[in-house]
Amino acid sequence: DEGVAAFAQASTLGSTPELSQTALTFNNLCWQGSLKGHAAEVMDACERAVAVTPADWRFRDSRGVARALTGNFKGAIEDFREFIIGSDDKEACAQRERWITSLENGKNPFTPAELESLRYSR
């Protein structure tokens, strides 16, 4: 909750060198906030991380989780496909393939148990 509040306050400061160099911080907030039930609140951080470094498939992965949790299944699928293209981790790619299949079938794969397992995966 404190991280989300701090991000909201920092977002009002506009574009500064400090903010433009914090894609990793935005991504971490996106990932952790999403896994802890604050996907809607951290979506702006997710978007900023991807906007600063659009080719970073790891940031697309984090945004994909947030998108799925906020009901944007199409966007989540697009982001997870970018992860699969960029990553050489076969196990993680297979996991994203399962998520994509679930989302294509209209089901959100992010159960409380799945979210809990992801909290310690990075």
Please tell me the distance from the alpha carbon of residue 97 to that of residue 84, in angstroms, as a whole number: 8
> Which pLDDT band, with edges at 50, 70 and 90, does 50 fall under?
very high
Please check whether residue 34 is in contact with residue 42, taking contact to mean a CB–CB distance below 8 angstroms.
Answer: yes
Amino acid at 42: V
pLDDT, position 23: 86
CA distances (Å), 118 to each of 10, 23, 33, 36, in order? 27, 20, 12, 10
Whether the per-residue pLDDT at 108 is higher than 70: the answer is: yes
**110: nearest Cα among 93, 98, 92, 120:** 98
pLDDT digits (tens, 9 = 90+) for 81-103: 999 999 999 999 999 999 999 99
Please check whether residue 75 is in contact with residue 47, taking contact to mean a CB–CB distance below 8 angstroms.
Answer: no
